[in-house]
Amino acid sequence: MAAPRLRPGMGRLIEMPAALGRLSRAYSKSHAFREVLQLPKMELTKLVCFIGRSNVGKSSLIKALFSLAPEVEVRVSKTPGHTKKMNFFKVGKYFTLVDMPGYGYRAPEDFVDMVETYLKERKNLLRTFLLVDSVAGIQKADNIAIEMCEEFALPYVMVLTKIDKSSTGHLLKQVLEIQKFVATKTQGCFPQLFPVSAVTYSGIHLLRCFIATITGNLKTN
Whether 22 is in a domain gets the answer: no
User: pLDDT, tens digit, for every residue of 108-126?
Assistant: 556 666 777 778 777 789 9
Instruction: Note whether residue 214 is domain-resident.
Output: no
Q: How do the pLDDT tens digits run along the chain, 221 residues long?
A: 444 554 444 444 444 323 223 334 444 455 554 455 455 544 557 899 999 998 899 989 998 998 876 655 555 444 444 445 778 888 877 888 888 888 876 555 566 667 777 787 777 899 999 999 999 999 998 998 999 899 999 999 999 999 999 999 999 999 999 999 999 999 999 999 999 999 999 999 999 999 999 998 876 66
Angstrom distance (rounded) from CA 96 to CA 112: 22
Dihedral of CA atoms 85, 27, 75, 197 in degrees, nearest 10, equals 110
**SS3 per residue for the chain:** CCCCEECCCCCCCCCCCHHHCCCCCEEEEEECHHHHCCCCHHHHCCEEEEEEECCCCHHHHHHHHCCCCCCCCCCCCCCCCCCCCEEEEEECCCEEEEECCCECCCCCCCHHHHHHHHHHHCCCEEEEEEEEECCCCCCHHHHHHHHHHHHCCCCEEEEEECHHHCCHHHHHHHHHHHHHHHHHHCCCECCCCEECCCCCCCCHHHHHHHHHHHCCCEECC
**What CATH number does residue 58 fall under?**
3.40.50.300
Number of other residues whose CB lies within 10 A of the CB of residue 41: 7
**Number of structural domains found in the chain:** 1
State how far the Cα of 141 lies from the Cα of 126, in Å rounded to an integer: 23
Question: In whole angstroms, what is the distance from residue 43 CA to residue 88 CA?
Answer: 9
167: in domain: yes
* 17 domain residue, yes or no: no
In a domain? residue 36: yes
On whether the CB atoms of residues 152 and 115 are closer than 8 A, the answer is no
In angstroms, the CA 83 to CA 193 distance is 25
Q: Report angle CA 155, 123, 87 to the nearest 5 degrees.
A: 85
The answer to the question of residue 7 being in a domain is no
**Domain-located, residue 19:** no
Buried b (16+ CB within 10 A) or exposed e, 122-136: beebebbbbbbbbbe
* Entry pTM: 0.78
How many Å apart are CA 195 and CA 162, to the nearest integer?
A: 8
Do the domain assignments include residue 11?
no
Domain that holds residue 180: 27-63+77-201
